[in-house]
Amino acid sequence: MSKNQKKVEVWIVEDEIDLSEMLALSLRNNGCEVIEFSNSEKFLEVFELRKPPNVVITDIRFPFGPNGRDLLKAIKSKDVFSPSVIIVTAYEDYPIETLYNEGAESIFIKPFDLQEIGFTVNRLALPLRERITTEPTEFFQHFSSSKIVNNCDVGDYMFGRGGMCIKTNQRLFMNEIVNFTISIRELDNINVEVIGIVRWENIYSQIPEYGIEIIKLTPPDPYLELVEKTHPLAYIPNITINS
């Protein structure tokens, strides 16, 4: 980070103190300014009074008070575009597509890699257009494997601003980079190429179902147009995959 570059501010909402401190230390070492909250009620109190950060990282469940989904709704009801929200969760918590639809930009399954979450924080601090037009070169260097998904093997599903859910008979793996093309029927079947990272797998689904964090969309404008149309909700209608 250059001397004149503004620091990324991150707020962490996590009741597991050891995890919160470890995550905060990692982000501070990465040049971020970090504020920690051990409960969701205190977070909401401060969120109403202060200028919001660039990124909020929140657990989904707390022993008392609002849960992470409640925080997500409160944040996005004020401004759907800022701050970006990263949800940390376990497989059984909530359907990932629901969190994407309600505005989460990224979802990490516990246990997660601290370097990867720092990598995501830096990207989500960017304006939306820059975020989804990032050249994926550095991602290919950072992650161990990549795969071009056969478009015929991807079924209809939905995606939100930060991520999308797909169903495919191809076996995908956590933190694998995938590449495929979708045809958005709501905009006269405009084709959009997607490059993303597999962040979640629904192991209980009959057809394997995956949550994909979006790295790059080509072209980005149809997606941005849908986002604007659905403001202030982050939901984007179902998609049709090219066959």
Position 163 confidence tier, pLDDT thresholds 50, 70, 90: confident
Query: Amino acid letter at 181?
Result: T
Let me know if residue 34 belongs to a domain. Answer: yes
pLDDT of residue 144: 60
Q: Is 21 among the domain residues?
A: yes
State percent of the chain over pLDDT 70. 77
Provide the 10 A C-beta neighbour count for residue 107: 23
Q: What is the tally of structural domains in the chain?
A: 2
CATH number at residue 19: 3.40.50.2300
Examine residue 4 and state whether it is found in any structural domain, yes or no. no
Cα torsion angle, 14, 98, 239, 206, sign: positive
pLDDT at 237 over 60: no
| 91 lies in the same domain as 167 | no
For residues 90 and 184, state if they share a domain: no
Q: Are residues 118 and 20 in the same domain?
A: yes
pLDDT of residue 157: 58
Among 103, 125, 147, the domain boundary falls at 125
Pair (14, 111) in one structural domain: yes
Determine the structural domain holding residue 215 and report its residue range: 137-241
Q: Among 73, 93, 125, identify where a domain stops.
A: 125
Q: Average pLDDT over the chain, rounded to whole?
A: 80
The pTM (predicted TM-score) of the whole model is 0.79
Q: Is position 113 within any domain?
A: yes
Residue 74 falls within a domain, yes or no? yes
pLDDT tens digits, one per residue of 99-151? 777 778 888 888 888 888 888 898 889 888 888 887 777 666 666 666 777 66
Instruction: Work out the pLDDT band at 208, boundaries 50, 70, 90.
Output: confident
pLDDT interval class at 232 (50, 70, 90): very low
Dist CA 18 CA 42 (whole Å): 18
194 and 116 in a common domain: no
In this structure, the dihedral spanned by the alpha carbons of residues 19, 59, 89 and 105, taken in order and rounded to 10 degrees, is: -120
Same domain, 117 and 145: no
Q: What is the mean pLDDT of residues 203-225?
A: 82
Of the candidates 64, 97, 125, which is a domain's last residue?
Answer: 125
Q: Are residues 67 and 144 in the same domain?
A: no
Q: Check whether residue 19 and residue 87 sit in a common domain.
A: yes
Q: How far apart are CA 193 and CA 171, in angstroms?
A: 20
| Cβ–Cβ under 8 Å, residues 14 and 20 | yes
1-53: pLDDT as tens digits: 445 467 899 999 999 999 999 999 999 998 999 999 999 999 999 999 999 99
| Mean pLDDT on 158-174 | 77
Residue 67 shares a structural domain with residue 164: no
Using only C-alpha atoms, the chain has a radius of gyration, in whole angstroms, of: 17
Give the per-residue pLDDT at 14: 94
Report yes or no on 3 lying in a domain. Answer: no
How far apart CA 175 and CA 33 sit, in angstroms, is 26
| pLDDT of residue 241 exceeding 50 | no
**DSSP letter assigned to residue 232:** T
Q: Are residues 141 and 180 in the same domain?
A: yes
The verdict on 62 and 24 lying in the same domain is yes
Question: For residue 185, is pLDDT > 50?
Answer: yes
Q: Which of 52-56, 79-83, 168-172 has the highest mean pLDDT?
A: 52-56
Residue 27 lies in a domain: yes
Instruction: Give dist(CA 137, CA 117) in Å, integer.
Output: 18
CB 97 within 8 A of CB 157: yes
Higher pLDDT, 165 or 219: 219
pLDDT greater than 60 at residue 191: yes
Contact call for residues 210 and 194 (beta carbons, < 8 A): no
- Helices and strands (H and E) in the chain: how many: 8, 13
Residues 111 and 148 both lie in one domain: no
- Given a cut of 50, whether residue 233 has pLDDT beyond it is no
- Please report whether residue 143 resides in a domain: yes
